[in-house]
Structure formats: C-alpha cells, structure tokens
Amino acid sequence: MARLADLKQENDYVRTTLLSWIRDLINKYHIDGIRIDTVPEVPKWFWSQFAQASGVYTVGEVFDGGMSYVGGYVGSLDACLNYPFFFWIRDTLFNQKDMYNIRNYYTEWGKNLDSSKLQYMANFCDNHDNARTLSWAGNWEDKKKHHRTCHVMAMTSVGIPIVYYGAEQYFAGGNDPQNREILWRNLDRNSDLYKDLGKINAARKRFQIWNQPQV
C-alpha cells in the first residue's frame, strides 16, 4: 500500500463525516456513478453505508482473480471491477487456452454470483494497474487480433464495459507508468478499433442492451 494515514470508520464522527461528504459530492456535481479504489482495505459494512449514502452506482476495485473473493464484495457495493474476466479472457486469448475456458468462466461465475448481479460487473481488458495487453511478448499482428477480440468481448459480454483510454489507439505501454501514455498527441479517430468500439457502443444504445435479458 501507499502508507497513507488510515481512517477509523468505527468512529461515529469519522463515519458520518465520510457519508456526508460523498452525499454532498454527488449532489453538487451530479455524479451518476463512482469507482472506489482498494475496497478490501475498508470493512464491508462501511461500504454498504457508503453506497447507500451516495445513491448512485458504485463499483469497487478488488484486485483478485478469485470469483468467490471478488463476489463477496458485491452486495456491499453494486459491483466490482471484473478481475476474474480480465484474467480469464487474457489467459484464453494470449496464452492460447481452449475457448471452452470462456464457457467455464460463466459457469464458475454462476456458482459464485447471482446473474442479476453479474450484469453490473465492470468488464475490462486494460487498466492503469497492469501492463497493457499489447506490451506482452509475441507477434504484433497476433497481439492486435487478441486485443481487438478482448475488447469486443468486454463490450458484448454480460456486464458493463470499461475501455481504458488508449486501448483504441493500440497503445502498448508496460507496467506503470509506461501504461499511462499521452493521448492528446496520438489520437487517431481513423483507428479501426476506435471505429469498431464506436459502432458497438452505438448498437448497445440502440437496442438498450441493459434492458435485455442477461443470460
């Protein structure tokens, strides 16, 4: 951890101040959803109160590939970053696992999380905490194909997709801070993935996929 000063949520003053702060922040800036970092560092009971006080969609970071462990935080918050998806899909595509691995992914989630909650999990292929998929060793063209497939699956699988900036530009930075490249000097709106993700997102809106049965 970053060795920051900790707060004692059990203290009534601390707890009520934090709850009041998030309530005021949401109301002042009309925020419709919040991402919460390092969720396991704070008791679950507090996150339940925090989420209720916010009154908006809450998604927490639980940096772990274990479905039962990650799923254990769903309920205290609306959802978590879907690290199990992240690890399973990268393992399937980049380590050339059998595609039945994807079927097994959904089977295992079904054992650990109710389907009505799975639809709120946040699917992603890249983020600021991990080396970008395109930085991995291997043939560049093969990596691009896997990278595209990963993002298409994140956009079309059960859950809420998150696209880390630069993925659509085929950024290939390694571990932090190399994976936080400058975008404004390298924005290519003609990138094939930029266009494809735009089309998929438009289709999601057109068919209101969030209102469709999630199976």
Pick the catalytic residue from 12, 24, 32, 61: 61
pLDDT at residue 214, rounded to an integer = 58
Among residues 123, 147, 174, the one where a domain terminates is 123
For residues 87 and 173, what is the distance between their CA atoms, to the nearest angstrom?
Answer: 18
Is position 214 within any domain? no
Shared domain check, 66 and 40: yes
Pick the catalytic residue from 6, 12, 24, 37: 37
Among residues 123, 152, 177, the one where a domain terminates is 123
41 carries an active-site annotation: no
Report residue 64's pLDDT band, with 50, 70 and 90 as the boundaries: very high
Is position 86 within any domain? no
pTM: predicted TM-score of the whole model, two decimal places: 0.91
pLDDT at residue 19, rounded to an integer = 98
**Residue 105 zone, left/alpha/beta (φ > 0; ψ -120 to 50; rest):** alpha
10 carries an active-site annotation: no
Shared domain check, 156 and 118: no
Domain range for residue 160? 124-207
Shared domain check, 51 and 74: yes
Shared domain check, 119 and 46: yes
* pLDDT above 90: residue 144: yes
Instruction: Give the up-direction half-sphere exposure of residue 189: CA atoms within 13 A in the CB hemisphere.
Output: 1
For residues 181 and 189, what is the distance between their CA atoms, to the nearest angstrom?
Answer: 17
pLDDT at residue 97, rounded to an integer = 83
pLDDT digits (tens, 9 = 90+) for 69-85: 999 999 999 999 999 99
For residues 105 and 88, what is the distance between their CA atoms, to the nearest angstrom?
Answer: 7
Shared domain check, 137 and 118: no
pLDDT at residue 109, rounded to an integer = 87
CA distances for 130 relative to 4, 33, 53, angstroms: 22, 23, 31
CB burial of 116-125 (b: ≥16 within 10 Å; e: otherwise) equals ebbbbbbbbb
